[in-house]
């Protein structure tokens, strides 16, 4: 098993990519903290992992709230004694809003969940990793985080910021035994589209015009989970501060 006795926190883990990562990590021997806003769905994931012979606990957490992030990390440490892996997966989209139509409230919410949340989670988990002399952080970015036309202005900005956060943390803490990497998926079969509300259809059409180079649309979350497993395991011990695209070639166009 690639993650035997490791302790992993996964945010947004009640569905989609986060759920797939939590389940795969548990299969590979990790003790998993399933964190999500949806209490019922979180409990379902935890129960499924435990019934399949894994080890998991659930934490209801809104990553926009500092107190929830603190409680999430402290719960992991109390239950399992350490924090080895942090996966910042929780995220929302912005309806492909252009800058001329984006409202401040939507901008603040997207940045808060997609960028400020991961920053705070890393800040809380880092002391445990520094004390241990090792740790792994995996941030779920997006193809929109390395290009300019694959999302709305708030989503694109938040994911570019997450890439910058990844590189800074990876570089600054490399000598402390901590690795920080990101995954940039293309279109994935998840419920994140439900977070968009009213969409800018003209901008969405531009997005769809460029989607034809992806190998297939959408990608199953399990395909992103295998990349997250690679980044969390010793197989990637010399991979740090970088972004791995998992988009079927979409961003190569």
Task: Write out the catalytic residue numbers.
Answer: 155
Tokens representing 211? 């989607």
């Amino acid at each position: 098993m690639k993650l035997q006795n490791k302790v992993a926190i996964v945010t947004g883990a009640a569905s989609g990519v986060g759920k797939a990562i939590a389940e795969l990590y548990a299969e590979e021997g990790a003790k998993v903290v399933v964190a999500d806003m949806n209490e019922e769905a979180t409990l379902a994931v935890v129960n499924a992992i435990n019934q399949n012979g894994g080890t998991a606990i659930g934490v209801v957490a809104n990553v926009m709230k500092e107190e929830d992030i603190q409680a999430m990390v402290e719960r992991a440490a109390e239950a399992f004694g350490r924090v080895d892996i942090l996966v910042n997966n929780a995220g929302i989209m912005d309806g492909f809003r252009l800058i001329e139509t984006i409202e401040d409230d939507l901008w603040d919410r997207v940045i808060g969940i997609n960028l400020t949340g991961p920053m705070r989670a890393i800040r809380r988990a880092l002391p445990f990793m520094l004390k241990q002399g090792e740790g792994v952080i995996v941030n779920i970015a997006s193809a929109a985080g390395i290009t300019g036309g694959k999302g709305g202005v708030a989503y694109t900005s938040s994911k570019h910021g997450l890439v910058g956060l990844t590189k800074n943390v990876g570089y600054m803490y490399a000598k402390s035994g901590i690795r920080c990497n990101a995954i940039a998926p293309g279109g994935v079969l998840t419920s994140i589209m439900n977070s968009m509300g009213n969409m800018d259809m003209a901008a969405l059409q531009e997005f769809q015009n460029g989607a034809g180079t992806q190998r297939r649309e959408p990608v199953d979350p399990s395909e992103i989970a295998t990349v997250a497993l690679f980044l969390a395991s010793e197989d990637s011990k010399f991979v740090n501060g970088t972004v791995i695209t998992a988009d079927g070639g979409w961003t190569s166009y």
